[in-house]
Structure 1
């Protein structure tokens, strides 16, 4: 009896820890203790309010495939064979091209005007409303367990960047110009049916 009492007294902190663990385990099992998720808080500040003179001349429906592959690198010397992880995403969106400042209009005589269009720019993008992007495929090699997963959010962001859209803008300069000419001809001939327009571009 004395031996048992001695053990209990010398190891009392162990019994306290065990009793506490059992108490909390019982509490969670019975729903006494619950995780309390905090409310999401956000704040915003309006940096500026500015009149916009943007005009969209061309909408291009684009379906783009973006892929990336990660590997486990050994001491910065070589990639571990069969360690690759790869993801392929299909993006679907509309790229909008036009101008962000007013064109310069110069009179060349009665009913004659020259319209100098400013440099074309990417006005913005509009994601496909039903399916903006689709994770087409993911794959991994036999030794890919230690390889970092591909950040699909990064893939989407890269595919929708202004830098990427600028490539399409350069490819469609002629189409944007044709649309711009038609836009201003229709707009101004509604005011003056006899108007003669000459167009200049800076692209």
Structure 2
């Protein structure tokens, strides 16, 4: 005779189905919770990365502008003829025929700019910077050519010392002459300065706003 086993008291088929359904719902909610947690973990690093990227941009701006070497902003093609005339005098009166005249033709490229290490940059607001530019200087020259093209000597020029051509060349490139080249081209140098640094900074971030302050040789602002 076969014995039959009765289901546990209080446990019916509908109850078992209900327990299975409730278990599936719990598992489903747990999976959703895990996915939400993973999504939050992905968003948080992205938010942190955005902040670091902004700081890195600032560092890039500072590094790009803070150049240590001389910055050539303008190259001028200079050419001309320098004339020097000497004569001998007696009791303050010129001796006729004693004059000597020397003519030197010259050409060179003059390089004007600034000392990059003296440029200062200050952040004045969100995405706004002030660039303080030092005085403009004569950086150097190249492609120079000096040539004696003619002399004009009077009948008594032998009593007048010969003119030193090297001294004439030094005069062509004297400190006063170099300073004059800078002064004559100051407006163009300012334009070139702004264009030069705007290209650098906007290459990092086109939205950055720049203002410029120019200093003269005494350090005062203009």
Q: Give the CA RMSD over aligned residues.
A: 1.6
Question: Secondary structure at the residue paired with 2:180?
Answer: helix
Corresponding position of 2:52: none
Larger Rg: 2
Question: Secondary structure at the residue paired with 2:201?
Answer: helix
1:136 is displaced (CA, Å) by 2.3
Structure 1 residues not aligned, in runs of 5+: 1-50
1:88 is aligned to 2:96: no
Corresponding position of 1:202: 215
Corresponding position of 1:146: 159
Question: Secondary structure at the residue paired with 1:67?
Answer: strand
1:85 is displaced (CA, Å) by 0.5
Q: TM-score scaled to structure 2, two decimals?
A: 0.63
Deviations 1:38-76 (A, max 9, x none): xxxxxxxxxxxxx953111111111132111111222x4
Question: Secondary structure at the residue paired with 1:123?
Answer: strand
* C-alpha distance in structure 1 between counterparts of 2:147 and 2:108, whole Å: 12
Question: Secondary structure at the residue paired with 1:190?
Answer: helix
Corresponding position of 2:121: 105
* C-alpha distance in structure 1 between counterparts of 2:162 and 2:93, whole Å: 19
Corresponding position of 1:7: none
Corresponding position of 1:123: 139
Q: Where do 1:114-193 residues align within 5 Å?
A: 114-128=130-144, 132-193=145-206
User: Which structure: greater helix fraction?
Assistant: 2
Structure 2 residues not aligned, in runs of 5+: 1-66, 217-222
1:81 is displaced (CA, Å) by 0.8
State how many pairs are aligned: 149
1:140 is displaced (CA, Å) by 0.5
Corresponding position of 1:62: 78
Question: Secondary structure at the residue paired with 2:85?
Answer: strand
Corresponding position of 2:88: 72
Q: TM-score scaled to structure 1, two decimals?
A: 0.69
* C-alpha distance in structure 2 between counterparts of 1:202 and 1:155, whole Å: 33
Runs of 4+ in structure 1 displaced over 4 angstroms? Answer: none
* C-alpha distance in structure 2 between counterparts of 1:170 and 1:117, whole Å: 15
Is contact 1:112–1:196 with CA below 8 Å preserved after alignment?
yes
